[in-house]
């Protein structure tokens, strides 16, 4: 890993409570599930694990509660080789948790309870500004309080490190200050929420991405799932990368794998087109296994998919 860029993840850490079911319950309906598992997750922690498995050097800033989940999640990150010195335990607080339902098509619905994630403050970040000074790129999501994400963007800018924001969970009326990042990478639903515009075909996707550039992002990367991805840059360059062909088991955290791989590739000096192909492969592979962190692919797996399906 010597010579690898230094990646800082400021983000959420959750325990995922996952049920598989033939179809999503409608409001008021009870359905019988096929299985129940408890897996490490959280968009921030998933991205940290993705970067680590792809060979990057990762440090994470986050918070867990003083319950059983907190210790297990911190240990899981440490086992992946992630620097967890700044993953602190908050007393008398529960760890973040997500209830996830996965249907037979691999699609998911997620409800998140922030728990200790909500306790990471801007002052906590100012107190470890050296982490930003040491980083080449910072990966952010929106499962932390927005003022904390904003402070992370400010600190990153001050220390000349690139910023990547995965704007999930997305909210309409997200302040422009949170869009002013080097790379903004929503999925189609999140992009629609952020812009109020429908996605679904090339022309519309380009309009949405351009709207995100208009709000301050230098590069907008739309994660379009079975339609691949679209990269639109503030300088006018546009890249469309088709999807890899894979058998989808569970789409949970595929977007996290994509964004982490994209950020790592950019930090390694790859151009946006190469980064998009690499990220598309990582995201696709994450859908071929159950779970969030458990599904993050290795460098070898990504290389093999890219070699087998040259694009």
For ligand RIB, the binding residues (CB under 6 A) are 12, 14, 16, 41-43, 46, 98, 110, 112, 143, 252-253, 255-256, 292
* C-beta closer to ligand RIB: residue 42 or 56: 42
Residue showing the smallest CB distance to ligand RIB in the complex: 41
d(CA 3, CA 155): 23
3-state secondary structure (DSSP) of residue 128? coil
Q: How far is the CB of 18 from ligand RIB (least distance, A)?
A: 9
Q: How far is the CB of 255 from ligand RIB (least distance, A)?
A: 6
Bridge-based pairing of strands 96-102 and 108-113 is antiparallel
* C-beta closer to ligand RIB: residue 6 or 252: 252
* C-beta closer to ligand RIB: residue 142 or 161: 142
d(CA 220, CA 244): 20
Q: How far is the CB of 292 from ligand RIB (least distance, A)?
A: 4
What's the CA dihedral at 247, 248, 249, 250 to 10 degrees?
160
User: Are 36 and 18 in contact, with CB atoms under 8 Å apart?
Assistant: yes
d(CA 55, CA 210): 32
The catalytically annotated residue of 83, 166, 250, 256 is: 256
Q: How far is the CB of 298 from ligand RIB (least distance, A)?
A: 19
Whether residue 235 lies in the annotated active site: no
CA atoms within 13 A on the CB side of 41: 28
Helix (H) or strand (E) holding 287: none
**64, two tokens:** 């867990």
d(CA 103, CA 105): 5
- Positions marked active-site: 256
């Amino acid at each position: 890993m010597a010579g690898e860029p230094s990646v800082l993840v400021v983000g959420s850490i959750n325990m995922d409570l996952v049920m598989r079911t033939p179809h999503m319950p409608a409001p008021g309906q009870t359905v019988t599930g096929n299985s129940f598992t408890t897996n490490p997750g959280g968009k921030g922690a998933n991205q940290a694990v993705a970067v680590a498995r792809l060979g990057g050097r990762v440090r994470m800033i986050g918070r867990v509660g003083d319950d059983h989940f907190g210790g297990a999640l911190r240990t899981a990150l440490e086992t992946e080789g992630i620097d967890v010195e700044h993953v602190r335990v908050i007393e008398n607080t529960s760890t973040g948790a997500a209830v996830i339902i996965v249907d037979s098509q691999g699609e998911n619905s997620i409800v998140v309870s922030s728990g200790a994630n909500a306790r990471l403050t801007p002052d906590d970040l100012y107190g470890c500004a050296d982490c930003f000074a040491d980083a080449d790129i910072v990966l952010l999501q929106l499962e932390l309080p927005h003022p904390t994400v904003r402070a992370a963007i400010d600190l990153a800018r001050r220390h000349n490190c690139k910023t990547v924001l995965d704007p999930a969970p997305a909210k309409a009326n997200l302040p422009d200050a949170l869009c002013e990042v080097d790379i903004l990478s929503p999925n189609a639903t999140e992009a629609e929420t952020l812009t109020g515009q429908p996605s679904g075909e090339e022309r519309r996707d380009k309009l949405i991405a351009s709207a995100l550039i208009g709000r301050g992002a230098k590069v907008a990367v739309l994660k379009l799932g079975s339609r691949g991805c679209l990269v639109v840059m503030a300088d006018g360059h546009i890249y469309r990368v088709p999807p890899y062909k894979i058998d989808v088991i569970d789409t949970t955290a595929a977007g996290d794998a994509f964004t982490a791989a994209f950020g790592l590739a950019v930090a390694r000096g790859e151009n946006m087109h190469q980064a998009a192909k690499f990220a598309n492969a990582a995201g696709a592979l994450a859908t071929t296994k159950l779970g969030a962190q458990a599904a993050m692919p290795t460098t070898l797996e990504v290389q093999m998919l890219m070699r087998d399906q040259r694009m």
